[in-house]
Amino acid sequence: MNKKIKNILQKKNKSKIISLTAYSKNIAKILDNYCDIILVGDSVANVLYAQKNTHKISLKKIIEHSASVRQGVKRSLLVVDMPKGTYGDVKTAEKNARLVIKSTGCDAIKLESNKKNYKIIKVLVEKNIPIMGHIGFTPQFKKKFKVEGQTNSQIKKLYREAQLIENAGAFAIVLECLSPNAANVITKNLKIPTIGIGSSDNCDGQILVTDDMLGLSGFYPKFVKKYVRLDRIIEKAVKEYSKDVKLGKFPSSKNYLNGSKRK
Ligand code: KIV
């Protein structure tokens, strides 16, 4: 088993698993010192391409972003999301997952659950392709953004889904927008780690979309804590730059490669 995956599994019940998304090398390089898992999420569709959902992002785009991220990742486990429509049957899933791994050097693949694709996970894992599952609000298959697992029967169904994903061989599972009770039942009863987003602290780890927590995306649901308003910081710098150029303060002689300022 991949050593990094083994480390993630060993963290269950010991220490929290830290995860964030990245779409480019420069951000990934910063995250790499602090994250156990870096995910190239299909959320790139919303965040960078202003698409209203994640449905249209292509495998080619995900591969290009992942290849960039790979350049910045040395220690974290690099996981790549398979876009909608690229893993509909076992043969297609294997072909595309292999292409992603070969082109990006990622460590694992993430697939969203549609409550039917357990066999796909099983076959990929048997063929040595490490898989991370994803249940709850799965944007590729659900339209409505709502908290799942509010009743006992819903919790039972979610737990069953998580169990089937674990039994299929996934090494971890994302729980997106689950009630604290549902997250608790699943986390306590699964052997594999759970990574929560909008699913309370009752998970083995947490993930956020990096652009959201940096205050860059403009998408700030309640479960996102904005650690900084990078939008404001960048705006201030750009405003200053614009002023400097207009006033002839930039470039100054300090910025000249050689020679002196034009008279
Ligand atoms: O696409 C993504 O960024 C994700 C995370 C929200 C888990 O799937």
Using 50, 70 and 90 to split pLDDT, how confident is the model at 259? low
Q: Give the pLDDT confidence score for residue 27 in this predicted structure.
A: 98
The response to whether residue 209 sits with its C-beta less than 6 Å from ligand 1 reads: yes
Q: pLDDT confidence of 1, banded at 50, 70, 90?
A: confident
From the CA of 140, how far away is ligand 1's center (Å)? 11
Distance in Å, CA 80 to ligand 1 centroid? 10
Phi, psi of 221 (to 5 degrees): -65, 170
Ligand 1 centre from 209 Cα, in Å?
7
Spot the catalytic one: 112, 148, 166, 176. 176
Measured from the CB, is residue 47 less than 6 Å from ligand 1? no
The preferred substitution site among 43, 142, 197 for testing ligand 1, maximizing ligand atoms within 8 Å of CB, is 43
User: What's residue 79's pLDDT?
Assistant: 98
Q: Which residues pair with 206 in a beta bridge?
A: 18, 196
Task: Compute the distance between CA of residue 115 and CA of residue 127 in angstroms, rounded to an integer.
Answer: 21
- Average pLDDT for the chain: 96
Taking a C-beta distance cutoff of 8 angstroms, is the pair 47, 40 a contact?
no
Distance (Å) from CA 128 to ligand 1 centroid: 23
pLDDT of 263 over the 80 cut: no
Residue 176: active-site member = yes
Mean pLDDT over residues 60-73, rounded? Answer: 98
What is the model's pLDDT at position 260?
64
How much of the chain, in percent, has pLDDT values that exceed 90? 93
Contact 21, 39 (CB under 8 A): yes
Q: Which of 30-34, 56-60, 72-76, 220-224 has the lowest mean pLDDT?
A: 220-224
Residue nearest (by alpha carbon) to ligand 1 atom 1: 41
* Least confident piece of the model among 9-23, 138-152, 249-263: 249-263
Instruction: State the pLDDT at residue 198.
Output: 97
pLDDT of 113-169, one tens digit each? 999 999 999 999 999 999 999 999 999 999 888 899 999 999 999 999 999 999 999
Please tell me the residue having the least CA distance from ligand 1 atom 4.
Answer: 41
Q: What pLDDT is attached to residue 219?
A: 84
Q: Is the CB of 57 under 6 A from ligand 1?
A: no
The residue-averaged pLDDT of 184-213 equals 98
Do the Cβ atoms of 147 and 182 come closer than 8 Å? no
Indicate whether residue 197 lines ligand 1 (CB < 6 A).
yes
Contacts of 50 (CB under 8 A, 6+ apart): none
pLDDT tens digits for range 92-116: 999 999 999 999 999 999 999 999 9
Q: Is 193 exposed, middle or buried (0-12, 13-18, 19+ CB in 10 A)?
A: buried
